Copies of this chain bind each other. A is one copy, B any other.
Amino acid sequence: MPTIKDIAEKLNISYSTVSLALRDSPKVKKKTLKLVKQTADEIGYRPNCIARSLVLQKSILVAMITPDISSPFYARIVEGAEAACRKKGYNMLICNTNWDPKWEEKHLNLILERRIDGAVIAPCKIKNDYLDKILSAKLPIAFVSSQYPHKDKDNLIFRGADNIEGGYLATCFILKKKQKAIAFIGGSINSVSLVHRMEGYYMGIDEADFPRENVYTYTGDFSQNSGYENSLKALHEHPEITCLICLNDLIAMGALKASRETGRKVPEDIGIIGYDDTYLASLDAVQLTSVYQPKYQMGYEAMNKLLDRLESDEENEPLSKLLHCKLSIRNSV
């Protein structure tokens, strides 16, 4: 592949001049500039980003770390982040952790070694030693979806939805109608956002004076299958349940299936409410009532803020911002 030197030799000028010319420096004579660009085209010259990165000490490369890029929730966040990158001319590395902290660590290490300029991360665990280490290593990081508890918390970029609000909206809504018993389906408490969400759920429950002994909890992971099995179990152990509160839409899909299989009609016999309001919920065949989170916006703003920080030090709006949830009411409650 041709280099700057090749152009220089061909034109019999120094390669400093070529370098300057290629970047439209006003220092170089217009005639030379044109000549340089022309021969660059001719021999098919491409700037070498690697060399450039080495001297400039930045890579114009940024990473996005998510637990599961194939989930409709994270996919939408990734989309937003990608859009922000595209707009600013950055490239984005995508790293899937599969909910495994080991892989999260591995990816973060690689990011450090690649001298990536920064990363947006949707952490898969509430707290991590290596995340602390990375944060003290001053690698610019933005958190999305889940806030990270860190001593220097006020200096962290974060975009996520108000999960307390989201949970609160959900239980308020379902308890407007009379419920005999309700159950939470899915989600082990391993992230801050879930803790908040539960807090919100219970706020609504207490406010409606619904007896806590009629609230059951079934923990599991975030998959459709886990939702299915836990719902079956719940409906079997407590047939009086009139509403399944699912910790995301995928789980709700499983709950829908379980309800139907046990001969219950939705929403007549049982209510089901999801969380995230992914496009699954909006499918005509599904029509799931769900708590909307501004996923795209979260991804976009987190990345955008990160890139802002990379490019200048002036900060205008706050680093951390909690976005509002709202209820997408459809036909499952």
Contact = CB atoms under 8 A, between A and B. Distances in A.
A260 interface: yes
Contact of A256 (B93, B96, B260, B285): B285
A142 interface: no
Nearest to A136: B44
B93 A46 contact: no
Contacts of A260: 284
A219 interface: no
Task: Give the size category of A's interface with B.
Answer: 35 or more
A159 interface: no
Contacts of A113: 46-49
Contact of A69 (B53, B82, B256): B82
Given A82-B96, A283-B253, A91 B69 contact: no
B284 A114 contact: no
A50 to B, nearest CB: 5
Contact of A75 (B47, B48, B49, B70): B70
A238 interface: no
Most chain B CB inside 10 Å of its own CB: which residue of A93, A103, A253, A283: A283
B54 A51 contact: yes
Nearest to A51: B54
Given A46-B109, A285-B286, 18 more contacts: A46-B112, A49-B113, A49-B114, A49-B115, A50-B53, A50-B114, A51-B54, A61-B114, A69-B69, A69-B78, A69-B82, A78-B94, A93-B93, A257-B284, A280-B280, A283-B283, A283-B286, A286-B286
Interface of A: 44, 46-51, 53-54, 59, 61, 69-70, 72, 75-76, 78-79, 82, 86, 91-96, 103, 109-110, 112-115, 137, 253, 256-257, 260, 280, 283-286
